[in-house]
Amino acid sequence: MKELTLTEQMIHWFIYLLPYALLVVFLFGAFFRAAIYYTVKRHEWFAREFEKRVNRYVDSEVPGKVKDVSFYGLSKKMLERTYYEIFEVRDRMQRRKPDRVMAGSDRVFLVKQGCAWLVKDILKQVKFLKWTNETPKLLNITKATFHHNPCFNRIFGIIPIASLNDFISILPGLFVVAGILGTFLGIKGGLGALGGMNLNELETAKNTMDAFLHEIAFAMASSIVGIAFSLSLHVWNTFLSPERAFVSMVDRFESALDLLWYRSDNNNYPSNEKPFDEHKDPVEALAEEALNLEVTKSSRGRDMDDIRKVKAS
């Protein structure tokens, strides 16, 4: 009899604490779903900025004007420009704030490190592509790069995104099951006391019935709370869908690489190519690129003048 009483007490405390436990799990799921979505969106932001600069470059080009363009060299140029420009603007804005190193969100979610890893891995993947008239499988390269990104695949660089996202996706169903379980346990606990009710003692019978109804009402609240949390988290998961953001990110990046492949004439690796340096000062890198561009234009202008002189003579 003593063991049964202990069991009844345990059931009573389980039913009492269940709504608070569901609240804690709901807050946990909502927070980490938002963290996963933010992590994916920050990397989609880089893909969107990369696509924007590639489209701007392609629109400014005249077909057949410049030849012997390397796909690797062009990809490296566009990726570096995207990386340096977006973080140069962020760094310029951060100088007005106490944290002068990087934005707090960049530090916590490893955004800058993830984008740098992305640039390095993409360049490593396209470095040895054989030049053909057909477009290579750039979609597979893009997917593999994003999937293997250690900063993109982990929240705060610690918690795996895939496993956590799968767990959060099934939480709405678990809320409903937990609420129904709490209700049935409450009914089971109340029926034990109801079975020993003596109908000859009306006052005692009334007190027993009131306690049973109170127990049932509290147990029903578990189902209501579980259903409410389930609906809320389901709506939250729908609006903050990392799957949609991931598909958009891959499509943007792959379409930008396709445009660069169509614009290129070969995939030669430049002999004087410098490795990508994510720690380089963005202002210095952009100034160096602008200077190299001006030197190239001047050199081409002189070559054209020489050609005109030869033709005139």
pLDDT tens across 70-118, in order? Answer: 888 888 889 988 888 887 765 554 444 444 444 566 667 778 888 888 8
Q: Is 301 among the domain residues? A: no
Q: Is 303 among the domain residues? A: no
Q: Where are the alpha helices (DSSP H) in the chain?
A: 2-60, 71-94, 104-109, 111-126, 138-147, 161-195, 202-239, 242-263, 282-312
Q: Residue 15: which domain range?
A: 2-289
Q: Is 307 among the domain residues? A: no
Chunked into runs of 10 residues, the chain (313 residues) has average pLDDT values of 55 78 93 90 89 90 74 89 78 48 63 85 87 82 86 81 90 91 76 61 66 72 88 93 89 91 86 69 49 48 49 53
Predicted local distance difference test score (pLDDT) of residue 13: 73
Predicted local distance difference test score (pLDDT) of residue 203: 66
Predicted local distance difference test score (pLDDT) of residue 183: 81
Q: Is 65 among the domain residues? A: yes
Q: Is 302 among the domain residues? A: no
The total number of structural domains that make up the chain: 1
Alpha carbon 50 to its chain's center:
17
Q: Is 261 among the domain residues? A: yes
Q: Is 120 among the domain residues? A: yes
